[in-house]
Structure formats: structure tokens, C-alpha cells
Structure 1
Amino acid sequence: SLLRLYKKTSGNGTVSENLFPCSCEQFCGMIAHWLMFILFSTVFVKLACAFHYGREDLDVIGLSFRKDIWVKHIQLYPDAGHKPNLTPMHGCLLKKAGEQGRAFTFDIATNLPCSVTLQPGPDNAGKACGVDFEVKTYIATETDPEEELDRKDTARMTVRKIQFAPDATGAPGPKADICKSFMMSDKPVHLQASLEKEIYYHGDPINVNIKVKNETSRTVTKIKIIVEQTTDVVLYSADKYTKTVLAQDFGETIDAHSTFNKSLAVTPLLAENKKKRGLALDGRLKDEDTNLASNTIIRPGMDKEVLGILVSYKIKVNLMVSSGGLLGGLTASDIQVELPLILMHPKPQGKLIVLPNK
């Protein structure tokens, strides 16, 4: 498959970085520098996973608006022994750059979170709250990667880490059922809802199988399916946000003393939720669209706090049951079940997992 290359140059033009993904666990690149300008300096490249609070104005009053979750530095000049396994792309870049080129490879820790952005409101400006990754190449006057940096000596690029769905196991999807009785009725309504599989991909229809056995004298006047996203911000507080990303009514009626068995399809999309503040998205890149955030998959032994933001989904299936009689819908009742939902990206044909910004 076609491999995309991204380039960013420092403000003074003395150093540039070329980035490309090379595997699911690694991120590769090459820097080019002008030796005559950095002869007595040190060049580092840094990969950082950080949590942004979305309040850049805090930095003005001495408070940090970001927290580094994971940071790794590599000294590229003078040579400090970093010897990456060179890919064909490395070879092409180094041939073009000549003696000014320095190749590098970052091994990405497997316990790091994926890129997640909380969608700002239509009137909110500035950097959104969320988790992102940044590759920064910079010139330091000493061999100290933490020294104060001049922006003109720095080339930086935001990258996005995406988690792909695991291989399908063939296991059936979740199922839930409920049996509810009503006043003035000695028979109940049975509701069962299920999904066909465990994992769904972004943008694909989700078929919800619904079975109803109505043994009462009442009529089910409407079926409603709701998809909710729950976001837990666990790094700095116990904030939890629940947002409805889809609410769809179906004009199906179920008469008294009858049954119903049908599959109803819904498709939650970001396009229908563009103005919903606080909705979790897969890390947004500059001038590029994205989608609803994927579920956070927590493996055994992982520290939830390191993940920063946890995302999950559930589907609610709701029946509106009329009371009948003179009051009609004024005394209608709901019957509801909930199903867990997993939304993720399918595995690509290649092994690209980190997408740099342009």
C-alpha cells in the first residue's frame, strides 16, 4: 500500500523532520539539518504522549495546561549510538539528504492511550481537551533535552495513534431481555434485544434484533433506539460525560396479544453530532475530519489513569406502551433494555497505526 510521508521545518530552516509510520509498534522518520549552523549544538527528536486540559490561557498564570503521560528522547547529533533498523523509506530519505540526514525509530509503548479529543463547542477557540502525540525535533545548546527551547529552533508535528479492532472471534453479540407487568393487567410484555456480533466498525449499520411478546391488552405504539457515548476523564478528575449520539424512532406498532420479531438498523455518525460539545472523537488532526472515538480497550494489568480518557458505548432499546382506555397515551409507559456496543476501526491491509498531521 502507498506510504505517506510528512515533513515539517523549523522556523529558522536549520532542521526539518520527515515522518512516516513503519509498523503497529513503531514510528519512523529522518531529520535533515544544516551542519554549519548546529556544529556546536545538539539535535534531539522527542516523542511525547500528553493530556491537554483545553485551557491554554492557564499557562499565562503559571499553570500547565498539559500533562505528559509518556516521553522519549533520542539524540541524533552528535551521534549518541541510536542505530535504527532502516526501512526502504529511510534509505530513500537518507540518499536524498546525504551527510545532513539522521534516521530514527521510536518504539511505541503498548500501554499508551490512543488519540482522543473532546469536541469543543461551536464558539470555543483554542486547543481542545484530549490526548495526543507530538514529534518534536529541536536544537539544544547543551546535551540537555529538557532545556528551555526557542520556537525558531524547533520543528514539531502532531500525530494520531489509532487502535484497530481485534480479530473477530465468531462469538455472538450481547443480548438482554426484560419482562414487565402493568397495573390492571395480569399478563406482561416480554422484550428481548440482541446484536449480531461483538464489534462494529465506524460508519457501518448496526442491526438490532428485537423480539417482543405482548400478552397484555395494551398496544406498543413506538420503538426507539438510542446510542449513548460515555466518556470518563480519569487522569485528573472523576469527570464522566454521557452524550446521545443517535436517537431514532421507528413507527412499528405491536398490537395487544401479538408478537414482533424484526431487525432494525441504526448508524451513529459524527456528521449528525458536529455541534455537540464534549463528545469524544478519534484525535482530530488539523484541517482533517475524524469520527466518533473508538472504544477504549483495557488489557489486563493496564493502569486506567495512564489512558487519560476512557470511551464506551451502549444501545438502549425502548418500547412505548399505551395505557389504552380514555387516557390513552397520557399514562403510557416505557420498557427498556441496554446493550454494550463496541465501535472500532477495521484492521487495514498494511500495518499503519500512527497518522501524522500535514
Structure 2
Amino acid sequence: MVRNRKQKHPTPRKCRRLTTPNPITPAWPYKNRPHTLLGISFSPTVFGTSHTPPSLPTTILMVNAVKVFKKTSPNGHCVSKSAGLRGPRQPHLPCGRCGVVDHDYLRGRRVFARVAVTYRYGREEDEVMGLHFSKELELVNTEVAPHAGDVQMTDAQERLIKKLGANAYPISVNLPENAPCSVSLDGGSEGSTQPLGVIYDLRLYVADRKEERPHKRNSVGFAVRKVQYACPGSSNRQPQTLGQQGFTLSPGRLNLEVTLPQDVYFHGQPIEATLSVNNVSKKTVKNMKAEVVQHVEVTMTNTHFSRVVASLESREGCPITPGCNLTKTFSLNPVASVNKRRFGIALDGQVKDQDANLASSTLVAEGKNVNDALGIIVSYSVRVKLNCGAIAGDLTADLPFKLVHPDPASVKAPLRKTQSADIEVEEFTNLRREPASHAARHQLLSVSLRDFTPPSLPTTILMVNAVKVFKKTSPNGKVTAYLSRRDFVDHVSHTSPVDGVVVVDHDYLRGRRVFARVAVTYRYGREEDEVMGLHFSKELELVNTEVAPHAEDVKMTDAQERLIKKLGANAYPISVNLPENAPCSVSLDGGSEGSTQPLGVIYDLRLYVADRKEERPHKRNSVGFAVRKVQYACPGSSNRQPQTLVSKGFTLSPGRLNLEVTLPQDVYFHGQPIEAKLSVNNVSKKTVKNMKAEVVQHVEVTMTNTHFSRVVASLESREGCPITPGCNLTRTFSLNPVASVNKRRFGIALDGQVKDQDANLASSTLVAEGKNVNDALGIIVSYSVRVKLNCGAIAGDLTADLPFKLVHPDPASVKAPLRKTQSADIEVEEFSNLRRGQSIAEE
């Protein structure tokens, strides 16, 4: 018993053994030894009391343990071990690791490293009908082992190779300088399968050439990240902003000054915002509100949005009456724990991780613009609002700052070669991915960034796309068709065909042919109103041509070559083109849920077996597809800034009321807010009482020569009103026309079916240069911004209309062609399982 107590409570004589000539590796006799985690030394506790040995040296030298993460390929011939410290990596270092491959297994082959980044900007469960909300980019694909010459190794690599033997090779992987940082977006629900945002994957595989596709059995995959750090004290700037607001028909101004003590904050550090209010107006400040706002820009879809991640509202010191001053400090602490399950919140780690942080601010090198960064750009600002009532409105001031992780290189000592045995191996598959608190957790294979330029990286980023085809079989099972696309894409200058493969047994053909027939149904009235032989639809046959068997060789696409190679000798490539003047697919909302057939322009593609194309297709040996003709516009195709100026005079009243409306661009994409700037110059004797801005959809049905318009977005405001004679006003209205708030309204034109929850408003009708849009067929759609100034019942309204285009971006402008090396990337989906009429987006 005495011996046991001595082991638990050593005498001071044993404690004095710490003062050895080598203080780096002290002979500590405690059972509970001191633990070093991220540079913080914790002393053991005896019966709840911290016990400090009496003869410790005044300088404590940091000792870092080496932790490596191990993963083995399914066939057991390829093992990868990554060396890392307990804590974040130095941001300027590449990802260093060791690979173990048996020489007998290599047989002249090489080990390659491939880094791919997946850019997911939509939920996986919403991917239907071939629609994909993700892009995969191959950033790095290089040979890493065996090496022809000597390779400079890190201390951890030297220890691993010494321990693992002759079959171990050091490897090092770098990323391109402009590679995006890892950011996850909260999907807003627990049912999301794949995380939104930027996700990296590092794969080591054995092959003869790097162009070969990695096989799962002889490859090792790691989920890695690219992160950014900032050095403590890297910026001494103290952000400051001054906001002022004047009030109509009221003298004086309300002044607000917001100051931050520093420009760079670390995660978990409270943000102290000092505001000074000087009220020299006639208005009273009723309350104050301070917020930390996270601004997110998704560069792939050109989407901008903001989320409040911390807020504090106070009435202390209020009301601030005219002539009074107030100085107050708000303390805000933005953390991810109180922002979970909020759609759009950007995080450093996965949403499911309890210790995930808010995403760090995007940092760029000096002299570069943060708007040129790729991926998801994150920034933060402190927003202070002073509420002066419903009539006077709010005075708002925004002050940007940076929220980042500290650079561990500024506090971390290098590893010593004497610690050759301090290696701890952990299975990579046992790790929880992406704990986001870099400053307080072990690093998990982070690919770090801090302004380094890789010496030998390719300048071309290779796009990797999965091939998805749609399959449908005839009722008798003799004819099967595979389509690689479901839409005829009109690029204004030309129309891309619908191509695919048809599989027909030679014994079933018996000299017959396979024909393709495209018919368009033009329905301009409800089916339930068709009585006494009256019909409100027309069906036109646009294409009827023989597609198989072919008498000569046919030029095939990559997808067709893969399908034919997979399906065998009974497969034939097919390609169907539409006439140049064929109308685009547009659906009109019937206004009620009882409508059976959709109104508008509907296409049907049918493949059938017959002796002659004049024969009527029979249902048992034919395959039908509901297809569409859609239009795209290239981003940046127009640099025009629409502008209009209107004026109005009044009877028996001198002067005029002038209104100028301006848009920053001519072409907008679906979901993009429309910022309309209006300038009012009132040199008349009338008073403008209120203003109203609308987005109007104009529809022309050419079959019946009918024109009508529908308001799809509107905003009415009295802010800045009344505009009395001699006064001016400049105001910006932000409008977002979407189909979700216009469902079940008769006459609204949509891209998809009315029943689809994600259908978009119909795109503007585009024509080639030199042609007139009025010569188009089908349903012609256009949009305009309409601004109204109300001058009262007697004076009336002043109205200005400014047309613009609302379209979908052309995916061909950002999508790379498929690579023939991906011969197995074919995913087949039954066409009958698809929901038709989805919103058109990049596939």
C-alpha cells in the first residue's frame, strides 16, 4: 500500500529529476503525465489541486507528437500514410505523406496522385431528369512514385520510411494557386445526403499511365481540405465608417460612427463594435441593433446572398432625442452552434459536426482582388441600424472585417529528428471528417494555402463529367432507346440535336427500318372546354426520318461510342434535328388545378419500327419521349445598359415631371435579382405621392394572334415621398421574379409544367442577329421593368417601361467536353421515372 501511494504521490526528490541537462525529454515519473495539445501545456492534477514541480526551468520547450493517418486499398497492395502534427498545418506547406507499394505488384507501373474538387451548389435529392447541381474538376494528376532521383523529405517522411522499409516512397502533392478553399453550405435540413459547397478528394492509384481511370481495388482515397490562416498581428488597421441621413422637409442630419479595434478577428473571439451617435436632426432614435452579417458569393452560379450570424438589439440610452449624443459598445460573438440548420450558412466543416466553425473570410495576396477568387467567397461585416420610426426609416452602417483562423506556424516549433520513435498511426476511416475548429483540434489531412506557387503544375484544369443517359423500352420489349440528352438546345445561331442509341434485334427488324418522328402540339385552350367538335389544339409533324440501320458510317459522339460498345451489335446511333424556325417549349398556367392537358407548346419524340415512314406508329413497337426545345444565352453576351427617360407635362400647370430608369445590364439569369435605379426630377407644380416598380411578362400567342401581360414581381414604396416641386430623388428597387409566387395565375408562361414546384418563368424569346423577334413562331415571351409615379387622382401616373431579357446561362460556356478515357462513366435511368418539366439549369 505504501508503494502504491508513492507511485501516485511522488516526493519532491523525484520531482527534481526534471532539471536534467536535456530539458526537452524530462523524466516525468507521474502516472498522469502532462499533455501538450496545440502548444498548451496541462500539468497533472492531484486530488483536484494543480501540482507544479518546484524545480521546473523557467523556459518550457514545446514537444510535438507526430500523428500519421493510414489507409489501405481494398486489395491490400497500396497503403498510404499521411504525416501531420497535432494542430493545423503551416499554410505554406504542401500535403506530405508516404506511400507503401509492393515492388512485385508494381511490375513497371507507377503510382499517381489525383486531386479532384467537387463543386456542389444544389441538393442531390433535387437532381432529376438528368439535371445535376454539381461540377467535378480535376486539379492535379501527377506521378508520385517511384522516383527517378533523390527527393527532399520532411522529418516525418524520413521517420516513416525508416520504419516502413524499402517499399515506402515519399510523396508530396501541391494544389494550383487559384484552387478554391473548402467551404460547406448548410442545406437547411437533416435529409441532405451530400454536403453543399467545395469538397476535395485526394486519390492515390497504381496505373501504367495517368490518363487511366483509377480503379477502386488498387486506389486509396482521402477526403482532404484546403484551408487558409492569418498571422496574429498581420494587420494593424482599425476599421471605421461614418453614416449620415437627412430627412425630407426636416432640417439637420443624424450621424452614426462605427469603429472596430482591429481588422482581423479569430474564431471564438468577441467582436467589440463601438458606435457614436450624434443627433442634430429633428428626429428621435427609438432603438439600436447591431448584427454580424456573413456575405456569401457562389461564383459557379453568380449568386450573392447574406445571412445574419449574430445580432443584438438594445434600447439602452434610447430614445436619443434631437441634440443628444450617445456612445455605446456592442459585443457580438458569431458562432456556428446557434446557426445550425439555417439554409445558406457557410461553414468550415460539415453541418453534422458539432464543432464546425463558421467559414473563414476569403483571403487573397496583396495586390489581388478578392472578387477574382474561385469557389465560394466569404466575407463578414458589422451592420448597425438606428431605428427612427416607420416614417423616418432606418440609418444603417456596414463595416467589413475578417474572421479567420490563427496561423499555427507563428506559435509552433519544428519537429526534432531525435524524436524518431514518436509516431502514432491511426486508421483514416475511423476519423470524423472536417472538425472545423482548426485552432483546437488535430489536423485531418488539410491541404493548406498561404500564397505559394507550385513549381510544376499544369495551367489547364480538366473537367470530369459523369455521363447520364435516359432509357425507355417499347411495350413488346423489342425496341429500347437511350437518349444522352432530353432537350433540343437552341443556341440562337444553331440548334443542337437530340442524340442517343436505339437497340433493336435483327430478327425482329426483318428488313424493316427504325424511324424517328417529332411532333409539336400547340394547345391554346383547355381540353375540358372542347365540346361539339371544337378543338383548341393543333398538332404539327416537324420531323419524320429514318435513323437505323444506317447504310454508311455515322459520326458519333463520345456518349454514343460508349453506349454502342456496351450494348453490342444490335445498337445503332441516332440523331434527330429540328427545323430552324421550330418554336420553343413554353407552358401557360391554366389558372386551376383541374386542367388535364397543359397549355402551350409541347414536343413528343417517337421512335418506331415500320416498313415506310408514312405508316402510323403502333404503340406496341414504339418508344415515346416528352422532349423540349430550350434556349440559352452566353454570360457576358451583351454589355448594353438599358436606359429610358420619360417626362410628363400637366394641363394648365407649368414645368414637367422627369423620370429616368436604368438597369446595370441587359441580360439577367433566372434567380438573379433585378436592380432598377430610378432618378426623379420634379420641376413641375405637382407632388409625387408614391412609387411602384414591377417586372412585367409579355406573352404573344401567335396561333391566335393574342397579346397579354402579367405582373410577376412588384414593389411599392413611399420612402422619400412626397416628392414636392423642385425636389429630386434617386432610388434603387430590387425585384426578383420567380415562378413560386405566381402559381395558379392564368396566363403565366413557364419553362416547365405548372404542377412542378421548381418550374421557372419562361425565358425571353431570343432570335439571331438581324432577325425580328415578331417573326418567331409559337409563344413569344418578353420582359420589362415598369416604374410608376403616382401624382394623385387628377394628375395621374407617369409610367416608364424598360425591356430586358430573362434567360438561362449557356452551359457550353463553362462545360468542358467529355474525355474518352472515362469509358465506364455511364449511368442509366428509366425515362418513365422522371418528372417532366423541371427547371432548366446546367446539367
Verify: 1:10 aligned to 2:474, yes or no. yes
CA distance in 2, matches of 1:56, 1:44: 30
SS of the residue 2:654 aligns to = coil
Mapped contact 1:211–1:259 kept (Cα < 8 A): yes
SS of the residue 1:123 aligns to = coil
Match of 1:182 in 2: 650
Q: How does 1:174-323 map to 2 (within 5 A)?
A: 174-182=642-650, 185-216=653-684, 218-234=686-702, 236-252=703-719, 253-256=721-724, 257-284=726-753, 289-299=758-768, 300=770, 307-322=777-792
Match of 2:554 in 1: 84
Mapped contact 1:295–1:343 kept (Cα < 8 A): yes
Match of 2:129 in 1: none
**Offset of 1:216 from its aligned partner?**
4.1
SS of the residue 1:317 aligns to = strand
Letter in 1 for 2:554: P
**Offset of 1:184 from its aligned partner?**
6.2
**Offset of 1:103 from its aligned partner?**
1.0
Mapped contact 1:132–1:283 kept (Cα < 8 A): no
**Offset of 1:167 from its aligned partner?**
5.2
SS of the residue 1:121 aligns to = coil
SS of the residue 1:350 aligns to = coil
Distance 1:31-1:120 versus aligned 2 partners, 3 A rule: same
Match of 2:543 in 1: 71
CA distance in 2, matches of 1:306, 1:69: 18
Distance 1:343-1:289 versus aligned 2 partners, 3 A rule: same
CA distance in 2, matches of 1:296, 1:184: 44
Verify: 1:93 aligned to 2:563, yes or no. yes
**Offset of 1:331 from its aligned partner?**
4.3
**Offset of 1:291 from its aligned partner?**
0.9
**Offset of 1:209 from its aligned partner?**
1.0
Q: How does 1:42-61 map to 2 (within 5 A)?
A: 42-53=513-524, 61=533
Letter in 2 for 1:45: A
Superposition RMSD in Å: 3.1
Bigger proportion of residues as strand:
1
Distance 1:265-1:9 versus aligned 2 partners, 3 A rule: same
Q: Give the total of aligned pairs.
A: 343
Distance 1:277-1:351 versus aligned 2 partners, 3 A rule: farther
**Offset of 1:119 from its aligned partner?**
1.8
Distance 1:124-1:38 versus aligned 2 partners, 3 A rule: same
**Offset of 1:14 from its aligned partner?**
1.4
Distance 1:304-1:226 versus aligned 2 partners, 3 A rule: closer
CA distance in 1, matches of 2:543, 2:773: 17
Mapped contact 2:589–2:747 kept (Cα < 8 A): yes
CA distance in 2, matches of 1:170, 1:62: 45
2:602 to 132, 145, 166: 132
Distance 1:244-1:255 versus aligned 2 partners, 3 A rule: closer
2:508 to 23, 31, 37: 37
**Offset of 1:288 from its aligned partner?**
7.2
CA distance in 1, matches of 2:532, 2:470: 32
SS of the residue 1:96 aligns to = helix
Distance 1:166-1:43 versus aligned 2 partners, 3 A rule: same
Match of 1:327 in 2: none
CA distance in 1, matches of 2:779, 2:620: 33
Match of 1:113 in 2: 583
Match of 1:342 in 2: 805
**Offset of 1:192 from its aligned partner?**
0.9
CA distance in 1, matches of 2:683, 2:715: 26
CA distance in 1, matches of 2:473, 2:754: 18
SS of the residue 2:567 aligns to = helix
Letter in 2 for 1:26: P
**Offset of 1:293 from its aligned partner?**
0.9
Distance 1:64-1:216 versus aligned 2 partners, 3 A rule: closer
Letter in 1 for 2:806: L
SS of the residue 1:99 aligns to = coil
Letter in 2 for 1:71: V
Unaligned runs of 5+ in 1: 323-329
CA distance in 1, matches of 2:754, 2:618: 24
Higher relative contact order (CA 8 A, sep 6+): 1
**Offset of 1:179 from its aligned partner?**
2.1
CA distance in 2, matches of 1:73, 1:333: 60
**Offset of 1:117 from its aligned partner?**
1.3
What do residues 63-82 of structure 1 show as CA deviations (whole Å, max 9, x unaligned)? Answer: 69332162142241xx2426
CA distance in 1, matches of 2:505, 2:532: 34
Q: Please, what TM-score do these two structures have when normalized by structure 2?
A: 0.38
CA distance in 2, matches of 1:164, 1:104: 24
- Please tell me whether Structure 1 or Structure 2 has the larger radius of gyration of its CA atoms: 2
Distance 1:302-1:148 versus aligned 2 partners, 3 A rule: farther
Distance 1:343-1:157 versus aligned 2 partners, 3 A rule: same
Mapped contact 2:743–2:754 kept (Cα < 8 A): no
Mapped contact 2:527–2:595 kept (Cα < 8 A): no
**Offset of 1:285 from its aligned partner?**
9.2
**Offset of 1:160 from its aligned partner?**
1.9
CA distance in 1, matches of 2:754, 2:472: 15
CA distance in 1, matches of 2:501, 2:507: 19
SS of the residue 1:92 aligns to = helix
CA distance in 2, matches of 1:2, 1:162: 22
Letter in 2 for 1:336: T
**Offset of 1:351 from its aligned partner?**
8.3
